[in-house]
Structure 1
Amino acid sequence: MEPTDFTGRLSRDRLAAIVRGRSADAALRTVLTLVEEGVDLVEVSLNTADACDVIAEAAREVGEDALIGAGTVVTRDDLLRAQDAGATWIVTPTTGEAVTAAVHERLPVLAGALTPTEAAVAVTAGATAVKLFPASLGGPAYLRALRDPFPDMPLVPVGGVDADLVPEYFAAGALAVGVGSPLVGDAAHGGDLDLLRRRARLFRSVCRRQEAGA
């Protein structure tokens, strides 16, 4: 997928799930459950147990129904391993070499940044969007403040984004939201998948209301 197409996908779906688990089997089940519930953008963090195997199996099982990404991508080697496993988009914690490598490989990349300077560096480096992390430090008000000097910057808040805050982030100008533990809970460690399904439906419902302009 071209980076510009991925921006459109973020704008349409408005929700990306973040899976990070101690159990590869549980992480895979979590990814597949999220996709079954309509969460079609799922990032598997590379510090998940056997992360590349999880990415590869998830990509095989979901086919074209969803886009499986890799998160916590720090180095070029990380990126190439994730790409070989089948990741079609990349998330980094910083604006380091992984961003440059992703741009070179024409992989969509959400580059981690917090300050205005870091966000500007990410965009200049060619990031598809800026992962505003940890968003909980400033909340929707901080994202709104960043939109003043950077009105066209695609911002995706990550970190502490619970369902109640989603409308506030969208009102502040977020392109989409990235959600880990408030959505995934302990499912990727072997926790209850029925509870995961309920949370997935809640987040999808909130995002659909935002799509409808409610």
Structure 2
Amino acid sequence: MEPHELLHALQTQRLVAIVRGSDPDAALDTVLNLVRSGIRLVEVSLSGAEALGVIERARRALGDDALLGAGTVLTAEDARRAADAGAVYTVTPGVTEAVRASRAIGLPVLAGALTPTEVVAALAEGATAVKLFPAGSGGVELLRALRGPFPRVPFVPVGGIDDARARDLLAAGAVAVGVGSPLVGRAADGDATGLTERIAAFRALAEEAA
């Protein structure tokens, strides 16, 4: 996946689903459910159980066109193994060695940053977009503040984002939002109660913002 392709996907889809779970089979089912329900950008966090295996099995099930990414990528080895498993982009919690390593092996990166200095560092390392993390309850104000000096940087707020905050952040200029438990719930741990309804709600929100 080329950087411009990831950026286009973020601009058009407006939503990245984040899957992190303790049950690899349930996590796989969750990924498949999300993608087949129309949420195209799915990040599988490497902090989940057997996450690389989940990515690999999801890639086999979904084919080459699925926009599967690896999250919580911290090291160059993480990036390499994620690419081998079938991830087409990486997501980091900060400006780690994984940003440069991902670019070196041809993967675009959503690099985590919170301060102006970190945003500059992420861009210098080749990040395609900046994961504003942790966005938290002050995300809208933080996003607006950072867009002042960085009006052309594509920001993707992540962390503590429910549907109301997602709507506000997209309206405030976020290119997309990354959403974990408010969307996925405990589906990746084996309890998919309410997942279908949450997928529909977040899809509707993203489509409104597109």
TM-score of the superposed pair, with normalisation by structure 1: 0.95
Measure how far apart 1:65 and its partner are.
5.0
| C-alpha displacement of 1:138 | 2.2
Deviations 1:75-131 (A, max 9, x none): 010111110000001001110100010111121100011111101110111101000
Match of 1:17 in 2: 17
Q: How far apart are residue 167 of structure 1 and its match?
A: 2.0
Identity of aligned residues (%): 56
Equivalent runs, 1:124-139 vs 2, <5 Å: 124-136=124-136, 138-139=138-139
Q: How does 1:32-111 map to 2 (within 5 A)?
A: 32-111=32-111
What amino acid maps onto 1:77 in structure 2? E
Establish whether residue 117 from structure 1 lines up as the match of residue 117 from structure 2. yes
Moved over 3 A (4+): none
How many residue pairs end up in the alignment? Answer: 210
Shift of 1:34: 0.6
The question of whether the paired residues in 2 share the 8 Å contact of 1:40 and 1:65 is answered with no
Q: Matches of 1:167 and 1:72 in 2, distance apart? A: 24
- CA positional deviation for 1:148: 0.5
Single out whichever of 59-68 and 85-94 deviates more from structure 2: 59-68
CA distance in 2, matches of 1:74, 1:167: 29
The whole-number CA distance in structure 2 between the counterparts of 1:81 and 1:65 is: 19
Secondary structure of 2:91's aligned partner: strand
> What aligned pairs does 1:140-151 form with structure 2 within 5 A after superposition?
140-151=140-151
Aligned partner of 1:154 in structure 2 is: 154
Work out the CA distance in 2 between the residues paired with 1:7 and 1:106: 15
Distance in 1 (CA, whole Å) between partners of 2:191 and 2:119 is 35
Could you tell me how far apart the structure 2 residues matched to 1:145 and 1:13 are? 24
TM superposition score normalised by structure 2:
0.97
Shift of 1:66: 2.5
SS at match of 2:21: coil
1:202 is matched with 201
Specify every segment of 5 or more residues in structure 1 that has no aligned partner in the other structure, as ranges: none
CA distance in 2, matches of 1:79, 1:137: 30
Distance, in Å, in 2 between the alignment partners of 1:162 and 1:128 is: 24
SS at the partner of 1:49? coil
The structure that is helix-richer by fraction is 1
